[in-house]
Amino acid sequence: MNSLPIIDISPLYGPDESAWADVAQQIDAACRDFGFLYIKGHPIPAERIEALLSAARTFFESPLEEKLKIDITQTSHHRGYGAIATEQLDPALPSDLKETFDMGLDLPASHPDVLAGKPLRGTNRHPQQDGWRELFEQHYNDMQDLAKTLLRAIAMALDIERDFFDKRFEQPVSAFRVIHYPPRQTATSPDQQGAGAHTDYGCVTVLYQDPAGGLQVQNVNGEWIDAPYVEGTFVINIGDMMARWSNDRYKSTPHRVISPLGVHRYSMPFFAEPHPDTVVACLPNCSDASNPPKYPATTCAEWLLSRFAATYAYRRELEAEAV
Ligand SMILES: O=C(O)CCC(=O)C(=O)O
Ligand SMILES: [Fe+2]
């Protein structure tokens, strides 16, 4: 139980339905056993990843006052730059040793959700760097398509309509994030982690990590196992909403990042999350008399806001002001 499977998803892009079913079955087994897996055979080219990393390095190396022009704590819809220690993923430990850039679906001020003041809706706040906006908006769309392809395979595995998730992912709240973990020094508190232990909040996460290493996943025995860099892959993990939908058939597995000593680390997770009003309740095939629903129904927005408030002090203040 100590190594995560690597699944070739290229058949999901071909016409052969029995090959789709085979991939769906492999994903199902990995999600049940670990809630974590790697995918290869996806359509995101290596040049895209290099372009994103190069733009991100330039941004994170710029002066703090420049980065704070798009300070995430100045928005209520969670877009822009998060400085070091903005997040505390494990409440028992010091704040996380990382800085972040977050973007989501770019909705103009005239969009009804924005006019109505709906949470997590609004425009992206990109750095003023040449080519950044086009590159990142294109990537956001491509990652959304990749996540939908994976969700179609999951729908097959769960034996629900194949477009169950497609319908719920129109105008999604999915988020794309770039994370820079500055090098951990021997002088750094041993308790301070790059990202404290947590589960992800959404449906599935599609993560690029660079070769620095440091991601760890908790196995069913509670032991931390390494999820090392594997060239050309993304790490996929199940988030809380999918665990709730599937009544824990798929596990929202705790993970953390122990940044390597003396090395900068970059990662880029895409958090696939449906339309904010989506009801997340136990799916029909996931409960029976001996296995009743474990979680009350919630909505995507309600769930995310409750988790954000637990992770960010500034969000708790925002919620308090909104009441
Ligand atoms: O940086 C990583 O490898 C993982 C980050 C992560 O778990 C998260 O942002 O939710
Ligand atoms: Fe995570």
Where do the domains of the chain lie?
A: 6-322
Percent of the chain with pLDDT over 70: 94
d(CA 304, CA 312): 12
Which atom of ligand 1 lies closest to the CA of 179? 1
Ligand 1 binding pocket, CB closer than 6 Å: 179, 195, 200, 207, 209, 215, 255, 257, 267, 269
Q: What is the pLDDT of residue 236?
A: 98
Closest C-alpha residue for ligand 1 atom 2: 267
Task: Tell me what percent of the chain is helix, strand and coil, each rounded to the nearest 5.
Answer: 35, 20, 45
pLDDT at 220: 81
Cα of 123 from ligand 2 centre, angstroms: 24
* Domain 6-322 superfamily per CATH: B-lactam Antibiotic, Isopenicillin N Synthase; Chain (2.60.120.330)
CA of 200 to the centre of ligand 1 (A): 9
What percentage of the chain carries pLDDT values higher than 90? 78
Q: What phi, psi does 92 have (nearest 5°)?
A: -85, -10
Q: Measured from the CA of 215, which atom of ligand 1 is nearest? A: 3
pLDDT in the model for residue 50 = 98
- CA dist., res. 69 & res. 81, Å (int): 8
Which among 98, 102, 215 is the best mutation to test ligand 1's pocket, defined by most ligand atoms within 8 Å of the CB? Answer: 215
For the chain, the average pLDDT equals: 92
Distance 253 CA to ligand 2 centre (A): 9
**Which residue's CA is the nearest one to ligand 1's atom 9?**
269
CA of 250 to the centre of ligand 1 (A): 19
In this prediction the ipTM stands at 0.99
* Residue of 311 and 109 predicted with greater confidence: 109
Overall average pLDDT of the 48-57 stretch: 98
Look at residue 191 in the predicted model and tell me its pLDDT.
Answer: 62
Among 253, 267, 268, say which to mutate for ligand 1: greatest number of ligand atoms within 8 Å of CB.
267
pLDDT digits (tens, 9 = 90+) for 251-302: 999 999 988 888 999 999 999 999 999 999 999 899 999 999 999 999 999 9
pTM: 0.95
How many Å apart are CA 36 and CA 121, to the nearest integer?
Answer: 29
Predicted pLDDT of residue 170: 97
Span from the CA of 16 to the centroid of ligand 1 (angstroms):
34
3-state secondary structure of 252: coil
Tell me which of 204, 207, 225, 252 to substitute to probe ligand 1's pocket, judged by most ligand atoms within 8 Å of the beta carbon: 207
SS3 148: helix
For residue 196, the model assigns a pLDDT of 86
Locus of tokens 């770039």: 178
**Above 60 in pLDDT, residue 1?**
no
Instruction: Return d(Cα 299, Cα 296) in angstroms, integer.
Output: 10
Quick check: 36 pLDDT over 60?
yes
Mean pLDDT (whole number) for 27-43: 96
Cα–ligand 1 centroid distance for 178 (angstroms): 9
| Residues having C-beta closer than 5 Å to ion ligand 2 | 200
Q: What is the arithmetic mean of pLDDT over 78-85?
A: 92
For the segment 167-201, what is each residue's pLDDT rounded down to a tens digit? 999 999 999 999 999 887 765 666 667 888 899 99
Distance 265 CA to ligand 1 centre (A): 11
What is the spatial distance between Cα 139 and Cα 106, in angstroms, rounded to a whole number? 13
Atom from ligand 1 closest to the CA of residue 181:
1
**Ligand nearest to the backbone CA of 253:** 2
Which band of pLDDT confidence, cut at 50, 70 and 90, is reported for residue 313?
Answer: low
- Residue 96, pLDDT > 90, answer no
pLDDT confidence band for 82 (50 / 70 / 90): very high
Pick the residue with more confidence: 117 or 86?
117
pLDDT tens digit string along 185-241?
Answer: 765 666 667 888 899 999 999 999 999 999 999 988 889 999 999 999 999 999 999
Q: Taking 80 as the threshold, does the pLDDT of residue 323 lie above it?
A: no
Q: Band the pLDDT of 318: cuts 50, 70, 90.
A: low
Buried-state track 137-149, b at ≥16 Cβ within 10 A, e below 16: bebbebbbebbbb
Ligand nearest to the CA of 101: 1
Measured in angstroms, how far is the CA atom of residue 217 from the centroid of ligand 2?
10
With 80 as the cut, is the pLDDT of residue 109 above it? yes
